[in-house]
Amino acid sequence: MTKLAISGMIRPLIEPRLPEGLDVRWFMTDEEAIEAVKSAEIGWFDSNNKDDMVASLMAAKDLKWLNSIYAGLDFLPMDVLIERGITVTNGAGINAITIAEYVVMGMLNIAKGYREVVRAQDRHEWLMDSPGKRELAGTRAMLLGYGAIGKLIKPRLEAFGVEVKTVRRSGGEGALTPSEWRGHLGSFDWIILAVPATPETEGMIGADELAKMKDDAVIVNIARGSVIDQPALIDALKAKRIGGAFLDVTTPEPLPSDHELWSLDNAHVTMHLSGRAQDKMFVRSAERFLENLEKYLAGEPVAPIFDPRLGY
């Protein structure tokens, strides 16, 4: 009998639709998870505490398939996943729509100075002029990362009249390659980071890259905080060497309450909420898991596959 260890948080959405003949062990606490995963073949033990997820993985000695709602699983021990030959499906694409919408929202917010509009309302002050006068139409955006999220960002921005240039490993179709994009930074108004967190992308935006950008360029990061050299970014923002930054992700998370990023007038910190700005995340995840479970039990391939050798 196939054994599964699954978080009780998702239980209402999947239990009525599970096929018969499974040994399902539900858990609600991290302590219960450690017990439930022992001898489990299939595991879905997402937690807000990533250390607890690692502990559950380490205890799951017989695990063959690990499912997760998270798209980025770089916090898991890749060597363990590789050594044990565990098939991993992640949440790639689950939150793509809402994150793409968040990018558009962030860009419009900065372009129109909307944060200052909200603050004026709080003060009951009627503004006589707009604090932001940019139009998205006619601007240019460099999009680093063309996965599930990037593929949704591009058409949404193009609908606003933004020229979007993608960066892809293979190039083609007018895209820039990893060896080319740095030389073109100075010709873009928006630099959008939607790359996976890997050793290759860590710190990919540093002091050198920031120095090449236009003085009114805005960085939009919905990837991971680690893809930007954050101290270098803070220096550039404080010196007004770039126009601003819309940061859904930071290093660390949560950002300490006394961190200077909070108080910079050209930094917009949105607390990693882009993927949570929806009410369909768990429904989509449950549907995907049930479809994959049917395939797994039939000996068919599951998807989307997270490759621990690549880190995404």
| Contact criterion met (CB below 8 Å) for 140 and 165 | yes
Q: What span, in angstroms and rounded, lies between the C-alpha atoms of 146 and 287? A: 24
The yes-or-no answer on residue 184 being catalytic is no
Q: What span, in angstroms and rounded, lies between the C-alpha atoms of 151 and 136? A: 19
Residue 120 maps to a domain: yes
| Contact criterion met (CB below 8 Å) for 143 and 165 | yes
Residue 302 maps to a domain: no
Q: What span, in angstroms and rounded, lies between the C-alpha atoms of 304 and 21? A: 25
Residue 306 maps to a domain: no
Residue 270 maps to a domain: yes
The yes-or-no answer on residue 84 being catalytic is no
| Contact criterion met (CB below 8 Å) for 37 and 63 | yes
| Contact criterion met (CB below 8 Å) for 155 and 166 | no
Residue 117 maps to a domain: yes
Q: What is the CATH number of the domain that holds 17?
A: 3.40.50.720
Catalytic choice (83, 253, 291, 294):
253
166, containing H or E segment: strand 163-167
- For residues 285 and 243, membership in a common domain is answered with no
- For residues 87 and 203, membership in a common domain is answered with no
pLDDT of residue 172: 79
- For residues 65 and 109, membership in a common domain is answered with no
Question: pLDDT per residue over 236-281, tens digit each?
Answer: 999 999 999 999 999 999 999 999 999 999 999 999 999 999 999 9
Q: Which residues pair with 167 in a beta bridge?
A: 144, 176
Enclosing domain of residue 202: 96-276
Residue 291 maps to a domain: yes
Instruction: Give the Cα-Cα-Cα angle 22, 299, 65 (nearest 5 degrees).
Output: 65
- For residues 84 and 190, membership in a common domain is answered with no
pLDDT of residue 169: 82
Residue 236 maps to a domain: yes
pLDDT of residue 103: 98
Does residue 193 carry a pLDDT above 90? yes
The yes-or-no answer on residue 35 being catalytic is no
- For residues 229 and 114, membership in a common domain is answered with yes
Question: pLDDT per residue over 23-42, tens digit each?
Answer: 999 999 999 999 999 999 99
- For residues 39 and 125, membership in a common domain is answered with no
- For residues 244 and 114, membership in a common domain is answered with yes
Domain count, the chain: 2
Catalytic choice (168, 224, 268, 288):
224
Q: 189 φ, ψ to 5°? A: -85, -25
DSSP for 242-286, please give it.
SSEEEES--SSSSPPTT-GGGG-TTEEE-TT-GGGS-S-HHHHHH
- For residues 194 and 48, membership in a common domain is answered with no
Question: pLDDT per residue over 82-141, tens digit each?
Answer: 999 999 999 999 999 999 999 999 999 999 999 999 999 999 999 999 999 999 999 999
- For residues 255 and 203, membership in a common domain is answered with yes
The structure tokens listed for 257 are 């309450």
Rounded to two decimals, the pTM is 0.89
Catalytic choice (11, 182, 272, 284):
272
Residue 143 maps to a domain: yes
Q: What span, in angstroms and rounded, lies between the C-alpha atoms of 175 and 173? A: 6
- For residues 180 and 125, membership in a common domain is answered with yes
| Contact criterion met (CB below 8 Å) for 248 and 222 | yes
- For residues 125 and 247, membership in a common domain is answered with yes
Place of tokens 């607390």: 271
